Amino acid sequence: MNFTESNHPFWQQVLKLALGAGFAFGVLCGAARCDTVAAAGKPTHAIAMHGTPALAPDFAAMPYVNPDAPKGGRLIQGVLGTFDSLNPLIVKGLAVQQVRGFVIESLMARGNDEAFTLYGLLAQSVETDDARTYVTFRIDPRARFSDGEPVRAEDVLFSWQLLRDKGRPNHRLYYAKVTTAEALDQATVRFDFGGAADRELPLILALMPVLPKHAVDVATFEETSMAPPLGSGPYRVTAVKPGASVTLTRSPDYWGRGLPVNRGLWNFDEIRLDYFREANSHFEAFKRGLYDFRVENEPLRWHDGYDFPAARDGEVIRDTIRTGMPQPSEFLVFNTRRPVFSDIRVREALLQLFDFEWINRNYFFGLYTRAAGFFAGSELSAYQRPADDRERALLKPFLSQLRPEIVDGSYRLPVSDGSGRDRGALRKALTLLAQAGYELDGTALRHRSTREKLRFEILVTTRDQERIALAYAGNLKRAGIEVAVRAVDAVQFDQRRLAFDFDMIQNRWDQSLSPGNEQSFYWGAESADHQGTRNYMGARDPAIEAMIAAMLESRERPGLVSAVRALDRVLASGFYVIPLYNVQEQWIARWNRIERPKATALTGYLPETWWQRPSTQQR
């Protein structure tokens, strides 16, 4: 499962180097069946999706933290966009996503050096059976909300029911799979799944946000609010300037500060989120030192935009981080709900007309690669790999609708001559478009029967997106296709994306090494009809549903890998997207007053592990 609950630019974040890294960090699958530490009827400190947790019950701290990191100081984060709500658990509004994690906790916390392993947080133990037909959590008796009230089983049940009925679509989808839930005593809660073949459910429930029953108004929960939420986490919301900034202050009496899972984390006394509506002003504010770090997403800026005095003098440090995750990939997404993109031949033709080689050389200094699929650079990717016997068995009922070359691994994305005017690509595209009923009428491409022009709009929000869209629109014009590029601010872009109010957008789905229920949220037929999900393309395919089901039923790592690769092949055969490029590294710029551990988690950078250099804490 991915940490997809938040729209956070960095949580998407996402997990790891193929199985080689998995072996190094506790994924111990081979000829023998994989068993988790949470064995039948035995409460344990951790649970892994596959294999065994890497850390023993007596672990002292996570391996990617500095357990002796100094406390104090302030971290200022610059956020592109705005907000009108402090509740990240509902669909309505633009929420401050950092509330989740910093203020509101879960029963268990991720080990960020493992594909999908959770360690006790609010819950001091977890118990399930071999088939994972139920899960029981025992709450740590020390756990407290920030008002001093203890965290009880009734709070967990309340949170589950509230989010199942009124939460975000992913919560409603996941939590509705529970058939019964009960408090065995004040500190113990059990969830039963009625025999559902979903081995990820215990872990999903372990990551459920836990809310205080005594402090939440159910009647107004779905409404946006600027009222600071009450949680059990290390921070409290102490100041809000609507649309401009939010201040989080570390709780001096935070109940979990001594837990091994928290050692070396939550080091700043104060975290302030400053919001910027426009990308250029966002960057200029960083250059002036108005906030402490930024995640850079534009190659041009990373390549030549950091030649300013503070960067030259070493006051600004640039970190290039290689993670073990599937490489985050950017795509142009077809909204197949729109008639213009309902024909797969049109979508494939438009893929032919995208000149990656020209764009990569002229805009991105050749820094990028690309792959046809959603798990690039990992063992989960099907691109350029032949389907194994397990995959073929899964895909057998659907082979007639899949491209044979995608199944046998011989399919390759189009490679242009890099001129920006590749005639071969144009001929292939026009052939496909003719098969779909289109013909050139002078300089315009029209449908033979309706005489409607082939035209659509690309919605963009950043300079990088606009440059790609304009270059692409130029290529499409050569084929007689009329494209409008509409630039909107980040707020409007998010609103339209969530409402599926677009023809084409640029998007990325970050993936982990342990995909799970979130895949239904990305591509499931039910998600296609619910605003706020991430099935932006509107995919509705029984083959997708079958591959996701097989993935959730997998007990061993090899079975999971085959199911995910099979899903990757089905998605690629649908031509729902145009792959743009793969991001092979994380680019982080920070002022040198902020320090980070020497070790990097498998998932990449984690600001909650950072601290302020003591000599600069009086700023």
Confidence (pLDDT) at 325: 87
Report H helices in 262-403. 279-287, 299-304, 309-312, 344-352, 356-363, 389-395
Would you place residue 1 in the very low, low, confident or very high pLDDT band (cuts 50, 70, 90)? very low
Query: Which pTM value belongs to this model?
Result: 0.77
What average pLDDT does this structure show over 443-465? Answer: 95
Lowest mean pLDDT, pick from 168-172, 346-350, 482-486, 545-549: 168-172
Confidence (pLDDT) at 359: 94
Question: Which H helix or E strand runs over 298?
Answer: none
Would you place residue 584 in the very low, low, confident or very high pLDDT band (cuts 50, 70, 90)? confident
Confidence (pLDDT) at 14: 30
DSSP 3-state helix, strand, coil percentages of the chain (rounded to 5)?
30, 20, 50
Q: What is the pLDDT of residues 223-257, one digit of tens each?
A: 999 999 999 999 999 999 999 999 999 999 999 99
Lowest mean pLDDT, pick from 9-13, 137-141, 478-482: 9-13
Confidence (pLDDT) at 18: 31
Sorted by where each starts, the structural domains of the chain and their CATH numbers stand as 35-52+63-267+586-614 (3.40.190.10), 329-582 (3.10.105.10)
Confidence (pLDDT) at 34: 36
Confidence (pLDDT) at 3: 34
More confident residue, 69 or 582: 69
- Going by C-alpha positions, the residue among 498, 533, 427 that lies closest to residue 4 is 533
Structure-block tokens of residue 380: 């989960």
DSSP of 468-505: HHHHHHHHHHHTT-EEEEEE--HHHHHHHHHTT--SEE
**Rounded to the nearest 5°, which phi and psi values hold at 184?**
-80, -30
Instruction: Say yes or no to pLDDT of 602 above 70.
Output: yes
More confident residue, 502 or 12: 502
What average pLDDT does this structure show over 434-455? Answer: 97
Map residue 513 onto helix, strand or coil: coil
Q: What is the pLDDT of residues 68-127, one digit of tens each?
A: 999 999 999 999 999 999 999 998 999 999 999 999 999 999 999 998 999 999 999 999
581-610 in b/e form (b: 16+ CB < 10 A) is bbbeebbbbbbebbbbbeebbbbbbbbbbb
Percent of the chain clearing pLDDT 70 (strictly above): 93
What average pLDDT does this structure show over 584-593? Answer: 94
Q: Are strands 504-508 and 455-460 parallel, antiparallel or unpaired?
A: parallel
More confident residue, 563 or 174: 563
Would you place residue 619 in the very low, low, confident or very high pLDDT band (cuts 50, 70, 90)? low
Question: For the chain, what is the mean pLDDT?
Answer: 91
More confident residue, 98 or 513: 98
- Which stretches does DSSP call E strand in 381-454? 438-441, 444-447
- How far apart, in Å, are the Cα atoms of 112 and each of 97, 132, 154, 488, 490? 19, 23, 29, 35, 29
What average pLDDT does this structure show over 185-200? Answer: 91
Instruction: Say yes or no to pLDDT of 11 above 90.
Output: no
CB-neighbour burial class of residue 119 (10 A; exposed 0-12, middle 13-18, buried 19+): buried
With contact defined as beta carbons under 8 Å apart, do 229 and 87 qualify?
yes
Would you place residue 390 in the very low, low, confident or very high pLDDT band (cuts 50, 70, 90)? very high
Would you place residue 40 in the very low, low, confident or very high pLDDT band (cuts 50, 70, 90)? low
What average pLDDT does this structure show over 378-389? Answer: 95
Instruction: Say yes or no to pLDDT of 23 above 60.
Output: no
The CA angle 513-516-518, to the nearest 5 degrees, is: 110
